[in-house]
Amino acid sequence: MTRLDVEAYADAAGIVLVLATGFDDCIVGIGEQFNRAFVVYDRAKVIASLMRGGLAWEEAEEHFGVNIVGAYVGEETPCFLTTSLRM
């Protein structure tokens, strides 16, 4: 799923979806729960993207935990999916 797909979905549904800046290639899809929707990202791809940006694995993990998954921006806060227990 692309950023354009997410934007088209949000427009069609008449909702707001928050996208994480710089991680368009990490989008998995749209998650829904009760009365809300949110963008879902692949956690491993986000970490890999941070490492391509120059961070070591440990630094990428810390940055992810504090600044990305730890950032609450309202009910539309994106979700990060872990697909493997191997990290």
Amino acid at 1: M
At 27 the pLDDT is 98
Report the side by side order of strands in the sheet with 79-81.
27-33, 36-42, 79-81
Residues facing residue 38 across a β-bridge = 31
Using an 8 Å Cβ cutoff, are 17 and 10 in contact? yes
Question: What is the domain partition of the chain in residue ranges?
Answer: 3-81
At 75 the pLDDT is 87
At 74 the pLDDT is 87
Residue 76 DSSP symbol: T
In the chain (87 residues long), the average pLDDT of successive 10-residue segments reads: 96 95 96 94 97 97 95 91 78
At 78 the pLDDT is 95
At 61 the pLDDT is 95
Whole-prediction pTM: 0.91
Distance CA 50, CA 65 (A): 12
